[in-house]
Chains A and B, each alone.
Chain A
Amino acid sequence: MRRTHAEPVMGTVVSFDLVTDGVDAADVDDALALACAGLHEIDDVFSTWQPASPVSRLRRGETTLDECPPEVAEVLDRCARARDLTDGWFDPWAMPGGLDPTGLVKGWAAQRALAVLETCGVRSAMVNAGGDVTAIGGPEVGRPWRLGVRHPDDPTRMLAVVPLLDAALATSGTYERGDHVIDPWTAAPSSAGIVSASVVGGDLGLADALATALVAGGPAAARHITAIPGYAALMVSADRRLHVVGDFPGLPVGAGTR
């Protein structure tokens, strides 16, 4: 049996898809309730839209890291690691409005939600945080979850269909909300000309950060992704060409080169 749930949180909708075979119905309810509560707690801590959130107060210098919930330090540690891995192309400390870990938080939060489900006995599930996906198990025995990477110009077309086996897939792009992605080196909107970047790897928080780095830096950032074991990427440039970074799974035959 399958159980789906859509939870509006963090300014988007987080979708859950659980295989419930072998799990008590009550445990499934608890798992979903706990996972969603965790997402809302994270939103309350990290939201840069809520002026009273700990991270908003930290941005304004009204509080210190020590006074914040411990999750803030954990996320900032992960941000620092992602900054190092990308040689600065992901850098929450270089944003014009002050510290902004948003590029990692959503993926990290979804990864935590998945861990909550796992702790509650769910062995097969997919969590999709507004387009950033992480999964364990598969929808059926012997079959991994299959995720489409959306074409930037057409929601009905897929650039690739990625089999996810205990892995994560994050996509950053400029097409959905008309966002500017900030170049951390100039603190101005990026001129790298990347409209979409998807990263596959073990952890959704890191994948999310790496996807953000790729939109900000394009090929300059991609050089660093190839050095991270277990991660690979797919980028679309403004001229609608496909760029493959590392061993990205699920591409149509003949698409891109390595």
Chain B
Amino acid sequence: MRRAPLALAGTVTGLVLVLGYRTPESAPTTAASASTSSGTATSGSAASGTGTSGTATSATKKVAGDTIQTRYGPVQVQVTAAAGTITDVTALQLPGNDPRSAQISQYSGPVLREQALAAQSAQIDGVSGATFTSDGYARSLQAALDALGIGA
């Protein structure tokens, strides 16, 4: 019996603490994100973003995602990957009119990095959540995943 009508009528019995479990982010990861693991060593051409690959040792590469205009100026996410695994994500500080863009870059970097690593260990291709504004995109997990796709 999988679909009980009025499933929530008895909410008291049907509840579980959301905070009671976590995503596999803290589990020892078996590396290799679903979206980056497909073994493409070269990319760039597949990317719609500005593929600034190049600063690299043989295995490490950096790829920048699409530039998104926000109220505080343009924002761009850069992913560093080694052998198909993300090692770092940064929000590039771009020339903007508002000093807040630098602040956002600074704030977004660590958040993006943590999100990307979480996504990698959960092996997700995207994220569903309450609608973010175009300003909020810069620190959204989807931004990291988009850059990841470009880097794939």
- Contact surface of A with B, Cβ cutoff 8 Å: 1-6, 8, 11-13, 15, 17, 20, 32, 106, 126, 128-133, 139-140, 143, 145-152, 155-159, 161-162, 169-177, 179, 196, 198, 219, 222-223, 226-227, 236, 240-247, 252, 254-258
Contact = CB atoms under 8 A, between A and B. Distances in A.
Interface of B: 1-9, 11, 13-19, 21-23, 25, 34-35, 38, 40, 46-49, 65-66, 68-69, 111, 114-115, 118-119, 122-134, 136-137, 139-143, 145-147, 149-150, 152
Nearest to B147: A4
A200 to B, nearest CB: 9
A219 B124 contact: no
24 contacts: A2-B40, A2-B152, A4-B65, A4-B149, A6-B68, A12-B133, A13-B142, A131-B127, A132-B128, A139-B34, A148-B122, A148-B124, A148-B127, A149-B128, A150-B141, A151-B23, A152-B130, A156-B23, A158-B122, A226-B4, A226-B7, A254-B16, A255-B16, A257-B14
A191 B131 CA distance: 20
A163 B16 CA distance: 22
Contacts of A158: 23, 118, 122, 124, 127
A173 B129 contact: yes
Nearest to A32: B48
Given A4-B149, A11-B134, A15-B146, A148 B16 contact: no
Contacts of B129: 131, 149-150, 155, 171, 173, 176, 196
Given A6-B65, A15-B142, A156-B141, A258 B130 contact: no
Tell me which of B2, B11, B13, B147 has the highest count of chain A C-beta atoms within 10 A of its own C-beta: B11
B8 A243 contact: yes
B21 A146 contact: no
Query: Which 5 A-B pairs have CB atoms at the shortest separation, nearest pair first?
Result: A173-B130, A4-B149, A150-B129, A176-B130, A13-B137
A226 to B, nearest CB: 5
B149 A155 contact: no
Chain A CB count within 10 A is highest, among B1, B15, B40, for B15
A3 to B, nearest CB: 6
